[in-house]
Amino acid sequence: MKRLLTILGLATLASVAGAVIVETEPNNTFGTANVITRGPSPWADVGVMSLTAGGGDVDFFSINLFEGEFITIITTPIEDPYSDPDTILGLFDNSQNLLEFNDDAGSGFGSAIRWQAEYTGVHYIAVSGFGDDDFVGDHSEDGAYILTVSTVPEPATLLAIGAGLAALAARRRKK
Ligand SMILES: [Ca+2]
Ligand SMILES: [Ca+2]
């Protein structure tokens, strides 16, 4: 019940914020990856996913990145906060080659990846359970986790945006 309320609460928040990342099983392969719809950078979104009971679940998502952008991907286990399910996380390019892998980030068994896109186009995010190093679904982890994804433009663009906003604020102050 508590989890249902949490999900309903998040759904309400999502309708306010206008978006949330959703998973639709089966999303166990590159071909069935759930598409993450994103906005222009800086952008962030979040969703509650789960590794299906009985183990063996892999969750694939696809996202478009622009060359030079930084993407940050975080899984937060919520069954036993930060430790269950014990996730692994992978970022793949459009040829399904592994770009970056993470098991445990900081304290707990959640995972995190930071990456600067080397090309503009589709990238894949894969989440699975510990013991499944090649994302084929041979692990015994199950439970809910939060997936957080954010993108920021390359630093030069971000600085330009910051300078633009500062100039705008200065103009407003003058008026
Ligand atoms: Ca799942
Ligand atoms: Ca899945």
pLDDT digit string (tens) for 161-174?
Answer: 889 999 999 998 88
**Position 10 in a domain:** no
Domain containing residue 152: CATH number: 2.60.120.380
Query: Is the whole-model pTM more than 0.75?
Result: yes
How much is the pLDDT for 106? 83
Q: Give yes or no for a contact between 111 and 100, defined as CB atoms under 8 angstroms apart.
A: no
**Position 9 in a domain:** no
CA distances from 167 to 89, 157, 158, 160, 171 (A): 40, 15, 14, 10, 6
Task: Give the amino acid at 79.
Answer: E
Summarised one tens digit per residue, pLDDT across range 139-150 is: 999 999 999 999
Name which of 3-12, 19-28, 65-74, 99-108 the model is least confident about: 3-12
Q: How would residue 17 be classed by pLDDT, with cut points 50, 70 and 90? A: low
Token readout for 143 is: 């439970």
How much is the pLDDT for 55? 79
Quick one: average pLDDT of 55-73? 96
Kindly give the distance from the C-alpha atom of residue 13 to the centroid of ligand 1, in angstroms, as a whole number. 21
**Position 4 in a domain:** no
Burial of 129 (0-12, 13-18, 19+ CB in 10 A): buried
Only one residue has tokens 């894949």, namely: 124
**Position 44 in a domain:** yes
Query: Domain span at residue 79?
Result: 21-174
Identify the CA nearest to 102 among candidates 79, 75, 65: 75
Answer whether residue 16 shows pLDDT above 60: no
| Number of folded domains that form the chain | 1
Kindly give the distance from the C-alpha atom of residue 49 to the centroid of ligand 1, in angstroms, as a whole number. 6
CA distances from 84 to 4, 13, 74 (A): 18, 24, 14
Report the share of the chain in percent with pLDDT over 70: 90
Kindly give the distance from the C-alpha atom of residue 22 to the centroid of ligand 2, in angstroms, as a whole number. 12
Kindly give the distance from the C-alpha atom of residue 108 to the centroid of ligand 1, in angstroms, as a whole number. 20
Identify the CA nearest to 79 among candidates 52, 59, 102: 52
Q: Give yes or no for a contact between 153 and 42, defined as CB atoms under 8 angstroms apart.
A: yes
Identify the CA nearest to 23 among candidates 12, 15, 32: 32
Average predicted confidence (pLDDT) for the chain: 90
